Chains A and B, each alone.
Chain A
Amino acid sequence: GAGVSQSPSNKVTEKGKDVELRCDPISGHTALYWYRQSLGQGLEFLIYFQGNSAPDKSGLPSDRFSAERTGGSVSTLTIQRTQQEDSAVYLCASSLGSGTGFYGYTFGSGTRLTVV
Chain B
Amino acid sequence: GNSVTQMEGPVTLSEEAFLTINCTYTATGYPSLFWYVQYPGEGLQLLLKATKADDKGSNKGFEATYRKETTSFHLEKGSVQVSDSAVYFCALRVGAGNMLTFGGGTRLMVKP
Do they bind each other?
yes
Point out residues on A near B: beta carbons under 8 Å.
3-4, 31, 33, 35, 37, 40-43, 45, 48, 56, 91, 93, 95, 97-110
Point out residues on B near A: beta carbons under 8 Å.
4, 6, 32, 41-46, 49, 51, 89, 93, 96-105
Closest B residue to A107 by beta carbon equals B43
Closest B residue to A9 by beta carbon equals B41
Q: Which residues of B contact A4 (CB under 8 A)?
A: 43
Besides the contacts A97-B98, A105-B46, what 6 more A-B pairs have beta carbons closer than 8 Å?
A37-B105, A42-B4, A42-B104, A45-B100, A98-B97, A105-B100
**Are B98's CB and A3's CB within 8 A?**
no
**Are B32's CB and A102's CB within 8 A?**
yes
Assembled-state Cα–Cα distance A35/B98 (Å): 14
Given contacts A4-B43, A102-B32, A109-B42, contact A45 B98 (CB under 8 A): no
**Are A98's CB and B98's CB within 8 A?**
yes
